[in-house]
Amino acid sequence: MNAEIIAVGSELLTPQRIDTNSLFLTGELNNLGVEVTTKCVVGDDYERLADTVRRAIARSEIVLLSGGLGPTEDDVTREAVALALDRKLVFHPEISDQLEHRFRQTNRKMAEVNKRQAFIIAGAEILPNDRGTAPGQWIDESNVSIMLLPGPPHELKAMFTRQCLPRLERLVPKQVIRTLVMRVAGMAESDLDQAISPVYKKYSNPVTTILAADGDIQIHLRARCTSEAEARALLAEVAGPIELVLGDRIYSRNGEPLEVTVGELLKKRNATLAVAESCTGGLLAQRITTVPGSSNYFLGGFVTYTNRMKIDWLGVREETLLQHGAVSSETAEAMAVGVRRRAGSTFALSITGEAGPEPAENVPVGTVYVALANDTGCQVVHRQFLGDRARIRSFAAQMALDLLRKKCTQLAV
The site for its own copies (CB under 8 A) is made up of: 11-18, 20, 23-24, 26-27, 30, 35-43, 45, 48, 51-52, 55, 59, 209, 211, 218, 220, 275, 277, 280-286, 288-290, 292, 294-295, 298-306, 308-309, 312-313, 342-343, 356-358, 389-390, 393
Q: Is the CB of 37 or the CB of 205 nearer to its own copies?
A: 37
Q: Which residues of 153-176 are buried (b: 16+ CB within 10 A; e: fewer)?
A: eebbbbbbeebbeeebeeebeeeb
Residue 292, exposed/middle/buried by CB under 10 A (0-12, 13-18, 19+)? exposed
Q: Is the CB of 147 or the CB of 288 nearer to its own copies?
A: 288
Task: Report in angstroms how near the CB of residue 122 gets to its own copies at its nearest.
Answer: 27
Task: Report in angstroms how near the CB of residue 143 gets to its own copies at its nearest.
Answer: 18
Distance CA 193, CA 220 (A): 13
Q: What residues contact residue 347 under an 8 Å CB cut-off, 6+ apart?
A: 266, 271, 272, 273, 274, 340, 372, 373, 374, 404, 407
Q: Is the CB of 241 or the CB of 255 nearer to its own copies?
A: 255
Distance CA 325, CA 332 (A): 10
Task: Report in angstroms how near the CB of residue 41 gets to its own copies at its nearest.
Answer: 4
Q: Is the CB of 354 or the CB of 402 nearer to its own copies?
A: 354
Task: Report in angstroms how near the CB of residue 230 gets to its own copies at its nearest.
Answer: 22
Q: Is the CB of 306 or the CB of 323 nearer to its own copies?
A: 306
Task: Report in angstroms how near the CB of residue 171 gets to its own copies at its nearest.
Answer: 20
| Contact by Cβ (8 Å): 88, 69 | no
Task: Report in angstroms how near the CB of residue 310 gets to its own copies at its nearest.
Answer: 8
Q: Is the CB of 120 or the CB of 221 nearer to its own copies?
A: 221
* Of 409, 290, 318, 316, nearest in space to 371 by CA: 316
* Of 315, 317, 305, 368, nearest in space to 339 by CA: 315
Task: Report in angstroms how near the CB of residue 391 gets to its own copies at its nearest.
Answer: 12
Task: Report in angstroms how near the CB of residue 92 gets to its own copies at its nearest.
Answer: 27
Cα-flanking dihedrals φ and ψ of residue 71, to 5°?
-90, -10
Q: Is the CB of 227 or the CB of 290 nearer to its own copies?
A: 290
Q: Is the CB of 83 or the CB of 95 nearer to its own copies?
A: 83
| Contact by Cβ (8 Å): 136, 159 | yes
Distance CA 176, CA 181 (A): 17
Task: Report in angstroms how near the CB of residue 90 gets to its own copies at its nearest.
Answer: 29
Q: First-to-last CA distance in the chain? A: 48
Q: Is the CB of 89 or the CB of 313 nearer to its own copies?
A: 313
Distance CA 236, CA 255 (A): 16
Question: Taking the mean position of all CA atoms in its chain, how far away is CA 27?
Answer: 12
* Of 252, 302, 275, nearest in space to 404 by CA: 275
Beta bridge partners of 126: 137
